[in-house]
């Protein structure tokens, strides 16, 4: 089996190279998460500002009519004219949207470095996340958070590689070698 020795050396070398590539890839990919969160938060804040602007216009209209916003929404929604009633639903949806966006912004801003990915998923606004992704520009992580995410990325990709690829392949090769050895030593 000496003829297999060069292949074993090549396999070991390739495995070490793959190990390093996965470390770098994990670090690069995961270190971009803080940058994506920051760009998403900016976009989320822009949506919040616009929704607040619209809601303020509805409040001004209500005040000019001597009503509260809730009363204007109720009166408008109760109208028999479908277009006017629909405007009441638009005002109610805008008010709810402001509350939802504000809760998302507050949650993301107050999330710790460890909880931010989970808070992001919990408060995810898919259209805003998609728009963020299409305009996303990677950044060089210069913060502690970026370094932490890079280290976590290295660990995750290495754990996936060792747990899902390397260990099962080595175990299969060992079993094969044991079966071959057993067949050779059988009388």
**Are 123 and 103 contacting, i.e. CB atoms less than 8 angstroms apart?**
yes
Render pLDDT for 113-167 as a digit per residue (tens, 0 to 9): 899 999 999 999 999 999 999 999 888 777 888 888 888 888 888 888 888 877 7
The model's pTM is 0.69
CA distance 47 to 101: 8
pLDDT above 80 (res 48): yes
pLDDT at res. 136: 92
CA–CA distance from 50 to each of 41, 91, 98, 130, 182 (Å)? 14, 13, 9, 18, 74
């Amino acid at each position: 089996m000496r003829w297999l020795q060069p292949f074993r050396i090549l396999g070991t070398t390739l495995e070490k190279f793959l190990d390093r590539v996965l470390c770098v890839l994990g670090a690069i990919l995961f270190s971009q998460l803080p940058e994506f969160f920051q760009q998403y938060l900016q976009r989320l804040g822009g949506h919040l500002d616009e929704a607040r602007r619209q809601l303020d216009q509805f409040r001004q209209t209500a005040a000019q009519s001597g009503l509260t916003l809730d009363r204007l929404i109720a009166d408008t929604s109760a109208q028999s004219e479908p277009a006017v009633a629909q405007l009441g639903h638009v005002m109610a949806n805008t008010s709810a949207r402001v509350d939802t966006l504000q809760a998302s912004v507050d949650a993301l801003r107050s999330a710790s470095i460890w909880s931010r990915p989970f808070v992001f998923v919990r408060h995810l606004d898919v259209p805003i996340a998609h728009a963020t992704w299409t305009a996303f520009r990677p950044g060089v992580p210069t913060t502690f958070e970026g370094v932490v995410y890079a280290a976590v990325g290295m660990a995750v990709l290495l754990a996936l590689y060792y747990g899902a690829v390397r260990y099962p392949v080595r175990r299969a090769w060992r079993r094969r070698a044991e079966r071959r050895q057993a067949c050779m030593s059988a009388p």
